[in-house]
Structure 1
Amino acid sequence: MGATQKIGQMIQQRRDHLRITQRQLADMADIGINTLYKIETGQANPTLHSLQKITDILGMEITLQIKNVSSE
């Protein structure tokens, strides 16, 4: 599973857990419902700004980590 699909899946799961509809979340985040649908299904490459708005509403946090790469 690619990164955009994983992000979309996490957003959809959190939205479902909070019992927020796609329409409600799209309205709160000021994005189109089609855009949100595409983000949740991994069909879109959302901007960081859009992701920040969505995750703030859902009580989520975006973090970056350095990969653990072993040198064998």
Structure 2
Amino acid sequence: MSEPQSEASRIVGERIRATRLKLGLSQEDIADLAEMHVTNVGKIERGQANPTLSTLVSLAGALNVDAAEWIVNLTAAMLPERTHTVTAADLIRERHRLAR
């Protein structure tokens, strides 16, 4: 089995799966409702795919939930490809320091 794309994609996938199971629906059910292929649903639920905003909104619409529930408390640190650790607050603080 393939590893998750990232910690963030794993968490989102788990949250989508939990929503689906809570409603008693199959992957096939939500794939049909969201107008997507069932293999994509499975990959998303396993964290093996990074769903686009359109895909998240489509799945949320099919499950009648707010997509924000699936991404709450995710951080940039959960993305392995992120190379910067500087935030906007750090940049602003440094600019103010240099302007003195």
Alignment length (residue pairs): 68
C-alpha root-mean-square deviation of aligned residues, in Å? 2.3
Q: Could you tell me which of 11, 34, 38 is aligned with 2:16? A: 11
Aligned to 2:29: 24
The TM-score normalised by the length of structure 1 is 0.81
Aligned to 1:45: 50
Q: Distance in 1 between matches of 2:8 and 2:57?
A: 16
State which structure, 1 or 2, has the greater radius of gyration over its C-alpha atoms: 2
Other structure's SS at 1:10 match: helix
Q: Distance in 1 between matches of 2:8 and 2:61?
A: 19
Percent identity between matched residues is 31
Q: Which runs of 4+ in 1 moved over 3 A?
A: none
